[in-house]
A and B are shown apart, each in its own frame.
Chain A
């Protein structure tokens, strides 16, 4: 573990990315306490403050460091709360997709026979279908809201976890320690989750990091297209969409800053994932 961390820290970019991710998560968690304004409190908003450029001092005497949006909301506060919602959706969808996907993948690898064929055929089919289209259709069918959106994100992503878990488990099941564990009176579930799963974790960790980033991006895209969360829960994607009409008239900050926050988050998570992937790939070690 210590060596692993040491090797990780050797890559300056990855180390910086990790620090950024931790800071962003902290900012999102602490949003209600560190945000200058409560963006959901309509009483605190003043329409005369609407669409002010960054650095303007608002009517209540506070400085809007990143400007305000069309409703006169302080953009910095809106972004902090938006991060919170975006992260929430990404992590929730990622966790559910991980659970379902890994269970399916391990089941397929362990059971073999027609179950293996049937499950993997469906998964392959799904992987060939673009996630955004699947999510789009599901959101259209299920309607707007947090739960439908999570269902759509999970449906679009679980297959990646299943594929990875299956690949790793299929390689592990040939090994002697699995045979040895099977020879003991342990239950099959115990063998799968207690013995095979831990050895499949490295590739799964990589996929999990990348998929959380993907879920956040996908959620933002859907929200941008107007098919995501309802306006009462503005994620970063919706903040960007709200600013889009004002972009042509030169008030670009309303879209730009939420977008910058979104990208910093996604790129940082992906960089961490990249480093993990390189470190876990035995073929790159000589």
Chain B
């Protein structure tokens, strides 16, 4: 087990290194940020001074090494547009996004899984068909379109909820949160609904597919023969057997929810990291782009690691025999 953990940690570190190099080189292939920073009629000397100041006159590999060195000490450089450290910028926006993403993923799991199990348990009932219809819609209708419809219905036509922005926040530990006040929640409701619909659809599908297959298995036949109630079978046997793929997807989906927040945040003008990355792409703010992508990559690698390790906890076979496959 320890060997397995060390091996996975090394792998994760290697992946991070490769990702940071890819992102760095990729992002530096875009345009020339100097033109954005200084006015077109600046003299050649000022131009050269600015280029030297940001280290843009160095060869790319030198810039990368310098970047890597700073990265290890937790410094992602300064934003070219806001002129504050990228870490500070990203972390000031992160709570807003985390709030959205966490709520969305939790709704997906705690509403989606029970619905999915039901749809798999009684695949031909009318309720199940309804659940599946919702799931197909949630799965195939693009997030931005759902957001648009939500705004149109609840903000423009009915006027019940605000159409965008974050509204007032409550300071806890020096960070502003929305979910603590009723008004904050009213601003959160539409974006969260928008973001969670896809997770919900995904969880329903996975839980349904898993349940349908498990219901045909011998495990369930034996459990029924042993006289267990249907609820106990679903709760103890089916849920446990379908848990592994669900945990994987849950872990990975949390990461992709942060990514999908890009769309939701843009539509609802929610001031999170997703809006930040779109803004930095349009304004060619390289340090912010690189910083955000490296952070997201780090997040993904960490989540992958956690998911892999929790496999070992959920599946006793892996715990004993090391990695199957």
Contacts and interface: CB of A to CB of B under 8 A. Distances in A.
Interface of A: 125, 128-130, 132-133, 136-137, 140-141, 213, 217, 220-221, 224-227, 240, 244, 247-248, 250, 252, 255-256, 259, 262-263, 266-267, 269-271, 274, 283-284, 286
A227 B255 contact: no
Contact of A128 (B143, B252, B262): B252
B88 to A, nearest CB: 22
A130 B140 contact: no
A252 B156 contact: yes
Interface string B282-311: 100000010001001100100010000000
A217 B213 CA distance: 30
A130 B29 contact: no
B152 A225 contact: no
B248 to A, nearest CB: 10
A244 B148 contact: yes
Nearest to B18: A125
B139 interface: yes
Interface of chain A: mostly helix, strand, loop or mixed: helix
A130 B148 contact: no
Contacts of B136: 267, 270-271, 274
Interface residues of B, number: 42
Contact of A220 (B142, B255, B277, B289): B142
A125 B255 CA distance: 13
B140 A213 contact: yes
B67 interface: no
Q: Which of B23, B29, B144, B293 has the most CB of A within 10 A?
A: B144
B216 interface: yes
24 contacts: A128-B255, A130-B256, A132-B260, A133-B293, A137-B23, A137-B26, A140-B289, A217-B140, A220-B142, A221-B144, A224-B144, A225-B144, A225-B266, A227-B281, A247-B148, A247-B152, A259-B145, A259-B148, A266-B140, A266-B141, A266-B142, A267-B141, A271-B136, A274-B136
Nearest to B278: A225
Contacts of A266: 140-142
A128 B299 CA distance: 11
A120 to B, nearest CB: 10
A217 B29 contact: no
Given A221-B263, A262-B142, A267 B137 contact: yes
A220 B156 CA distance: 23
B300 A128 contact: yes
Contacts of A141: 26-27, 29-30
B145 A262 contact: yes
B140 A270 contact: yes
B208 to A, nearest CB: 12
Interface string B241-280: 0000000000010011001101100100000000001100
Interface of chain B: mostly helix, strand, loop or mixed: helix
Contacts of B281: 136, 140, 227
A130 B156 contact: no
A37 B160 CA distance: 39
A52 B163 CA distance: 24
Interface string B23-62: 1001101100000000000000000000000000000000
Nearest to B289: A140
Given A133-B259, A136-B277, A247-B156, A217 B252 contact: no
B15 A125 contact: yes
B143 A130 contact: no
Contacts of B145: 220, 240, 259, 262-263
Contacts of B139: 270
A132 B259 contact: yes
Nearest to B142: A217
Nearest to B164: A248
A139 B3 CA distance: 40
A130 B255 contact: yes
B159 to A, nearest CB: 11
B151 interface: yes
Contacts of B27: 137, 140-141
Given A225-B278, A255-B148, A259-B148, A128 B142 contact: no
